[in-house]
Amino acid sequence: MDFNDTPEEASFRKEVRDFILAEAPLPKKGESGVEALMNSWEANLGWFKKLGQRGWIAPAWPKEYGGAGMTTVQQFIFNEEMALHKAPRPLHMIIGLGMAGPTLIVHGTEDQKKKYLPGMLRGEDIWCQGYSEPEAGSDLASLQTRAVRDGDDYVINGQKIWTTVAHIAKYMILLTRTDPDAPKHRGITYFILDMKSPGVEVRPLYNLGNSHEFNEVFFNNVRIPKDNVIGEENRGWYSAVTTLDFERSSIGSATGMKQNVEELIEYAVEHANDPTSTLNTNPMLRYELADRMLETEVARMLSYRVASMQARGLIPNYEASLLKLFSTELNQRIAKTAVHILGLYGQLKGDDAPNRGRWLATFLRSAAYTIEGGTSEIQRNIIAQRGLGLPRD
């Protein structure tokens, strides 16, 4: 592929960069993009409004649904510039904008698009994803949450787990089994669920970092109108795979990972003269940092490969799994390198800790990276079967 921008692409990149530098509430030195989002929420609401006026809240969506109708390459340039400058993104809407919305655009009815897409763009409606169950995680098609047709409604009973932001979500994209006698990849139906429906119970789950983003959700005779079916009854698996493709393509930012490694290098340089520094007591950490920096370049090349395929009208399959697998495992290695470099300081949190304890939180949170959106084992199976032509395990 040609790594150089065309004149049109270079002009668009400059437009995005100039807009970010002029309008975005950029994070302070040492502050992450997520911290900037949470620490200056009101300023960010104004920023999101400015993005929305250009259709840049959901830039790849068609213009008729409130997006900018960007090409694949434009979307890649936009995301790269946003990451390079740590410009705030509407992270609280990631499932709506990044997964539910694109799935509705592909598989939803016109009435569903008109009803649900505007709220996502305005940031008024937070969505969650009802996929995993206690006995159906990596083998998602084994899900057992039941939906039984009753007149114009479906009655839902069952449980979901690891449901991100379910405690603040207005809607859920929900996978259920409607035909228990069909093969497991069939007989599944995809729904839109109003989280305020009677019979929905949300219970919190806390991660290793003691933060509450995950939940378990119980359904006790919950009624969903038949108009809330996404796609066709008993063919929900095919719509669900669309959602997974969108999710996997958004996990792991090579630019963000490179910035994290650069931040660690800066910290190491600042403490180079400290005789108690881990860089002096363990010289091998210098090689560890070098490895992490090289690996971020590998991640960037994998990202370019996926983007270039999409630009040529190809559908990345095992290539997207390669990117997801490498990026999420690299995120974990970077977090581990960070706590190695910080030494005992890497166990601290609070305002007086290095980077206010962000690396400890990142390290604890990183355990989930290789589970979300399909485990590393699932990605390796996809790569082996579809990329290398090996038999199923």
Query: In angstroms, what is the C-alpha Rg of the chain?
Result: 22
- Counting Cβ atoms within 10 Å, is residue 127 exposed (0-12), middle (13-18) or buried (19+)? buried
Give catalytic residues, as residue numbers.
Answer: 247
Cα gap 375→187, rounded to integer Å: 24
Evaluate whether 302 touches 323 at the Cβ level (below 8 Å). yes
Q: In whole angstroms, what separates CA 168 from the centre of its chain?
A: 17
Task: Tell me the CA end-to-end span of the chain in Å, nearest whole number.
Answer: 34
Evaluate whether 143 touches 177 at the Cβ level (below 8 Å). yes
Q: In residues, how long is the chain?
A: 393
For residue 63 the two structure tokens come to 């213009």
Q: Which residues pair with 204 in a beta bridge?
A: 215
- Counting Cβ atoms within 10 Å, is residue 207 exposed (0-12), middle (13-18) or buried (19+)? middle
